Amino acid sequence: MSYIVNIEKQCGCVKKSGEEFPKTFENKEEALNEAKKLAEEFNETFCKKHNFEVEENGNELTIKVGMN
């Protein structure tokens, strides 16, 4: 089974970052680590208009985008 990391919506900062979504991983641990790393990186380096957090749904991990 493969695991997918996706983002809920791509704001301008995500588009400028050059990150490509969805991302596919062979195991859940790798996918979860990548999703958490990206959410943390986005929260620290982007314009602060949005807040990013990871939501798990089966084999799909979605980086949720909320307003700050």
Number of domains into which the chain is organized: 1
Contact between 46 and 13 (Cβ < 8 Å): yes
> In the predicted model, what is the mean pLDDT of residues 2-29?
96
- Evaluate if residue 7 carries a pLDDT over 90: yes
Q: CA 41 to CA 3: how far, in whole Å?
A: 20
Q: CA 64 to CA 53: how far, in whole Å?
A: 5
According to DSSP, residue 20 is labeled -
> φ, ψ for residue 61 (rounded to 5)?
-110, 120
pLDDT of residue 68: 87
Domain-embedded: residue 67 = no
pLDDT of residue 46: 96
pLDDT of residue 25: 98
* pTM of the complete model: 0.94
Q: Which amino acid is at 26?
A: E
Domain-embedded: residue 18 = yes
Domain-embedded: residue 40 = yes
Q: Residue 21 is part of which domain span?
A: 3-53
Pure H helices in 1-68: 12-17, 28-45
Domain-embedded: residue 16 = yes
Domain-embedded: residue 62 = no
Domain-embedded: residue 63 = no
- What are the pLDDT digits (tens) for 19-55? 999 999 999 999 999 999 999 999 999 999 999 999 9
